[in-house]
């Protein structure tokens, strides 16, 4: 295998984990990712629940709101995250899901970010912490919104389409 990324997506020789590499410019991240604030992709209409909400209620909210996660909020601050996947994987653990609270299956170590982060920083944080959703808080820790990997991928796909269009218009061979 040549230099660059090692097998299975790991860093290659001279590369730092979690740092995007630009072709021909090792160690340099694309300026687009470094400059775009998450303000452009943050969802402010976050679906929330109290930590003591019954699991069945949280599952119903996930379905009715058509989302994959509910942020548990206590005193306006995120206290945990419950995903549809976590509910599905945990359902056999409890005798009666209506007697189980959301906090019993919520993430133990919730990772959050602030609106000062860039898309590049959020992607790195998601990669480093192995998460797909990042609740966003203000300087006081109050929940402001959420950024999802899906939303970031839509943003990146849109930008790639723009770049492709430019290349096609400038290249007579394509």
Residue 103 has pLDDT above 60, yes or no: yes
Q: What pLDDT score does 109 carry?
A: 92
Q: What pLDDT score does 86 carry?
A: 94
Give how far Cα 43 sits from Cα of 28, 74, 115, 150, 155, Å: 29, 19, 11, 12, 13
Asked whether residue 1 is domain-assigned, the answer is: no
pTM here is 0.74
Asked whether residue 53 is domain-assigned, the answer is: yes
Asked whether residue 114 is domain-assigned, the answer is: yes
Mean pLDDT of 110-116: 95
Round to whole Å and give the CA distance between 17 and 21.
10
Asked whether residue 64 is domain-assigned, the answer is: yes
Asked whether residue 3 is domain-assigned, the answer is: no
Token duo for residue 153? 């991928």
Which of 20-24, 105-109, 144-148 comes out lowest in average pLDDT?
20-24
- Count of domains forming the chain: 1
| Cβ neighbourhood burial of 156 (10 Å; 0-12, 13-18, 19+) | middle
Query: Could you tell me if 16 and 95 are in contact, meaning their C-beta atoms sit under 8 angstroms apart?
Result: no
Query: Could you tell me if 72 and 83 are in contact, meaning their C-beta atoms sit under 8 angstroms apart?
Result: no
Smallest CA-to-CA distance from 82 within 98, 92, 69, 93 is with 69
Q: What pLDDT score does 23 carry?
A: 43
Q: What pLDDT score does 16 carry?
A: 43
- Please give the residue range of the domain that contains residue 158: 31-164
Asked whether residue 121 is domain-assigned, the answer is: yes
CATH of the domain at 96: 3.10.580.10
Asked whether residue 171 is domain-assigned, the answer is: no
Asked whether residue 132 is domain-assigned, the answer is: yes
């Amino acid at each position: 295998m040549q230099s660059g990324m090692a097998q299975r997506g790991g860093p290659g020789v001279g590369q730092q984990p979690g740092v995007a590499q630009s072709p021909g410019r090792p160690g340099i991240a694309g300026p687009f990712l470094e400059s775009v604030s998450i303000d452009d992709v943050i969802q402010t209409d976050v679906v929330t629940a109290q930590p003591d909400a019954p699991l069945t209620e949280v599952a119903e909210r996930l379905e009715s709101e058509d989302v994959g996660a509910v942020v548990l909020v206590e005193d306006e601050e995120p206290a945990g995250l419950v995903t549809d996947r976590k509910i599905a994987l945990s359902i056999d653990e409890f005798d009666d899901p209506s007697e189980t609270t959301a906090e019993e299956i919520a993430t133990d170590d919730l990772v959050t970010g602030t609106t000062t982060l860039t898309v590049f920083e959020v992607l790195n944080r998601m990669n480093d912490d192995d998460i797909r959703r990042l609740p966003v808080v203000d300087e006081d820790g109050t929940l402001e919104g959420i950024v999802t990997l899906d939303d970031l991928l839509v943003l990146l796909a849109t930008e790639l389409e723009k770049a492709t269009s430019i290349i096609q218009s400038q290249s007579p061979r394509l």
